[in-house]
Structure 1
Amino acid sequence: MNKKELTILTVSFYPRRLQSTTRQILLYNVLINNTKGLSTYMNKKQMDDPKHRSHP
C-alpha cells in the first residue's frame, strides 16, 4: 500500500470515527442531564431486584 492510498483510507475512515465519538459524548451528556430519568430507572432496577424489594 503506498502513501497516497493510506492517506485516502485515513481521511475516509477518520470522520466516521470522529462522528461516532461525538455521538457517544452527546448521549453521555443527555444521560447526565437526565438525572431524574436516570434515578427513576435505578429505582425501578432496584425494585426489580429481589434483594432490594421491601415486601416479599
Structure 2
Amino acid sequence: MKNNPRHPILHDNVIVYSNATILGRITVGEGAIVGANMWVTHDVPAGQTLKS
C-alpha cells in the first residue's frame, strides 16, 4: 500500500458539491461537476455532470 497511488485526481474547474464521496484513484476531468451526496467509483469525463 505504501507506494500505490490512492487519492483522486481532480483536473481544473471541477466542482464537487457537499457530501460527495470520490473513492480511490478516480480521475475527474476538466470542468466536470459532481453533485451533492454522490458516490463516485469510476472516472468522470471532462464536462460531465453527475447528479442524483
Task: Give the TM-score of the pair, scaled to structure 2.
Answer: 0.24
Task: Give the TM-score of the pair, scaled to structure 1.
Answer: 0.23
The structure whose residues are more often helix, as a share, is 1
